Structure formats: C-alpha cells, structure tokens
Amino acid sequence: MTNQNHSFDTRSIHIGEEPEYLEGSNNEVVVPIYLSSTFARKQVNNHGRFEYSRTSNPTRLALEKRYASLEQTRFGLGLASGLAAETLLLFTLLKPGDHIIGFDDLYGGTKRLLNQWTAQYDLQVSLVDATRPELIEKAIQQRTKLIWLESPTNPLLKVCDIAAISEIAHRHNLLVIVDNTFLSPYFQNPILLGADIVCHSVTKYIGGHSDVIGGAVMLNDEKLYEKLKFNQNALGMVPSPFDCYLVLRGLKTLSLRMERHQSNAMAIATYLENHSKVARVYYPGLPSHPQYTLNRTQASGFGGMVSFEIKGGEKEAVQFLESLELFTLAESLGGVESLIEHPALMTHASITKKERELAGIKDSLIRVSVGVEDITDLLKDLDLAFEKI
Ligand SMILES: *Cc1c(COP(=O)(O)O)cnc(C)c1O
C-alpha cells in the first residue's frame, strides 16, 4: 500500500486509489465514479460511511486524499472550481470589517472577487507589490486577517518570498493563503515554506487536459479543516463525481507533464529572449528574471508559463497571434495543448487601461501557456508568425 514516504510520482498515481480503499469494494484498480446522490442506512439514527453526496462522496474522498498527499498536508478538500475554493476561504475566514492584503498581480478573477464582491460585506482590501515583503508589513492594519499570495503571478510571472512573508504574517497573527496553481504541487509546496493554506484552480495543471473545472484547498489545521468542510457542505460548493474522476486520472501524469511543460517553456523563453522582434521576456527560469534566485530556493522548478512583449504595440501583437497555427488563441492555461493570449484584450480586459499600465500589462504583452507538444513544431510555428509581422 502506498504511503507518504513514497515519492511524489508514486503518490500522484496511487494515493486514494488503493484497491482496498473502501470496505466491501471489488478491489478495483481505478476508483469507480460513484454517481449515487444518497446512501442507504440500516438504522434511522446511524448512517454508514457516506450519507449524501454533497456532504461526502467516495470518488471525491479518493481525490481529497490525493490532494492532501501531494501538497504534503493533513487535509484536502475538492471544490467545484478554483473560485469556489477561494469563496469558501473568504466566507469561512472573514467577518464584515476585516481587512485582506493581496499581491497586486493576482489572477483577474481573484482580483474581481476581492475588489468587487467583498464591498457588499464591508471587507477592506489592499493590493501591494509582494515582491517586497516590507510593503506587506507596512500594509498590516488592526483588522487585517489574511494575506493572499500567488507565486509566480499572472501574467507577469512575479515571484514573492513565501517564507519571509509567512514569518511576517505569523508575527502579526495573520493567516497566509497561497494560490499554487501556476507551479502545481509538483514544483512548489507553500505549506512547507510556512504558509497556512494552499488553494488551486484544478482546472489548470492538476486536471491538465482542459476538460474539467475544479478547485482544491489543502491545509494542516484540523479545526479550520472542520469549519471549511462544514461550510462546503452548507454552501454546496462541490465537484461532481465525474469531474473528480477526471482529476484523479489527470494527476497520474502530473510530474511527466510538468517536466515537459517546463523544458518546452525554457526552450521557448530562450528563443524569445534572442529574437530581434521581442522587447522583453518574463520567465522565472531565465537568469535575467529579477527573482530567478528566490524562485530557485523556494521551488524545484519554474513551470510552463511564459510572457513576452513584442516590439511595436497592439497591432503587431494581434497580427502575431492571428498568424499562429499550432498555438490556440484562447484563455486559460495548464493543459497539454499550447494556448496563447493577449492579456490586455482578453484575460485582463475587465480592468481599465490605466490600471493595466500601472500593473505593467502593456498592449504589446503576450502570454503563452506552453503545452507538451514537440518543441520543434512549436518553435517553427512561432518563427512563421514572426515572419508575418
Ligand atoms: C484560473 C485560475 C483561478 C480560478 O480558477 P477556476 O477554476 O477558473 O475557477 C484562480 N487562480 C489562478 C492562478 C488561476 O489561474
């Protein structure tokens, strides 16, 4: 039977799916998709292991065990989407009047949640440049409850010092949440660096095949886990058994995929950095990245996301994007297929041009989610598109 002493690659295939994982099972090698919404009981006031699938479901339970194992935490929760995971955390951890500090380059949907949705609950939010931990400490107020981080961020791939910020937070009795979507548990485990809670958009690398929307929360604190589990059931933010099955399946190749995403991304970042039509490349794996050394100390890899500024502006960027044949012009990231997009016109169009400029998101910026295709084919496609501008 697999246990936590086995390596990541072994755990990502086996944990939660041991054939004997359920009493009375048929020793299936792959956990079945338990579609039943409800479970029969023998006695009125005594239900068995499962009662009702919103509360807990055998397929979801298998996945939750694996989530906890991969982030090396005691507990894991499966949610209906990355934003459902974030909403559950905000609902559970905050009261009206509380204050949150967030990284100023957070995922657009997280910013929308923090900036727009929180207003009606009288929550205060300060977004600061977390690449400078002293700015986080300066932003702490009487009512501050938590610090919300990503590393690296989207789309500028900024890296923050998770251990240093966690140390500041704990001195002030604050909780640190890290959205670990971009590196996945394969390359980074924020809890081991001192963070309190990790969340993921499972939709991205963990699922890995652009065919499921899901979210996850991992943590060690048992009391907090019980509260989150209670609220997840009370608020109804659960994934379907079929979605859980897809994620269990996707996770089996997480390490293989991440290695290939990364080697392709490194080749593309290096190619772009040497291209005459490129003004600037953002990739934490390039020694030119401002937090290259920090990322190397807190993570075992750099991931598969690369952003770059094309020389010229919006016109050149659009021309380039529409000339590509292999890279799919689409939002989202983390799937086996390469996706490319224009943050100013697509993922970050909901924030004003002025805000975008302040954040450093130029009209010439292009973001690539590098897939696991053959690198020669990917580079050839980029070459042909550059020739057209
Ligand atoms: C996509 C994404 C989310 C939101 O997740 P959904 O599954 O789309 O709800 C949150 N954080 C990051 C970093 C993301 O990329």
Q: How many angstroms is it from 182 CA to the middle of ligand 1?
A: 9
Residue 41 tokens, joined: 């009981």
| pLDDT tens digits, one per residue of 307-350 | 999 999 999 999 999 999 999 999 999 999 999 999 999 988 87
Tell me the C-alpha distance between 71 and 191, whole Å: 7
Beta bridge partners of 328: 339
Q: How many angstroms is it from 42 CA to the middle of ligand 1?
A: 42
Q: The pTM is what?
A: 0.96
CB of 201 within 6 A of ligand 1: the answer is yes
CB of 110 within 6 A of ligand 1: the answer is yes
Residue 137 tokens, joined: 């400490």
Give the chain's mean pLDDT: 95
Please report the pLDDT score of residue 120 as a whole number.
84
| pLDDT tens digits, one per residue of 158-195 | 999 999 999 999 999 999 999 999 999 999 999 999 99
Query: Residue holding tokens 């990917």?
Result: 378
Q: Which atom of ligand 1 is nearest to the CA of 333?
A: 15
Asked if pLDDT for residue 361 goes beyond 70, the answer is yes
CB of 107 within 6 A of ligand 1: the answer is yes
Q: How many angstroms is it from 106 CA to the middle of ligand 1?
A: 10
Please report the pLDDT score of residue 23 as a whole number.
66
Mutation pick for ligand 1 pocket among 83, 206, 367 (CB with most ligand atoms within 8 Å): 83
| pLDDT tens digits, one per residue of 267-287 | 999 999 999 999 999 999 999
Phi-psi sector, 266: left (phi>0), alpha (psi -120 to 50), beta: alpha
Strand order in the sheet with 328-329: 278-282, 305-310, 365-369, 339-341, 328-329
Q: Which domains does the chain have, with CATH numbers?
A: 8-251 (3.40.640.10), 254-387 (3.90.1150.10)
**Range with the poorest average pLDDT among 108-117, 132-141, 196-205:** 108-117
CB of 243 within 6 A of ligand 1: the answer is no
Query: Residue holding tokens 């949610």?
Result: 79
Asked if residues 151 and 303 have their Cβ atoms less than 8 Å apart, the reply is no
Tell me the C-alpha distance between 77 and 67, whole Å: 7
| pLDDT tens digits, one per residue of 233-255 | 999 999 999 999 999 999 999 99
Q: Which atom of ligand 1 is nearest to the CA of 215?
A: 7
Tell me the C-alpha distance between 267 and 250, whole Å: 25
Percent of the chain residues topping a pLDDT of 90: 85
Asked if pLDDT for residue 20 goes beyond 80, the answer is no
Mutation pick for ligand 1 pocket among 181, 247, 331 (CB with most ligand atoms within 8 Å): 181
Q: How many angstroms is it from 1 CA to the middle of ligand 1?
A: 33
CB of 82 within 6 A of ligand 1: the answer is yes
Active site residues: 54, 107, 179, 204
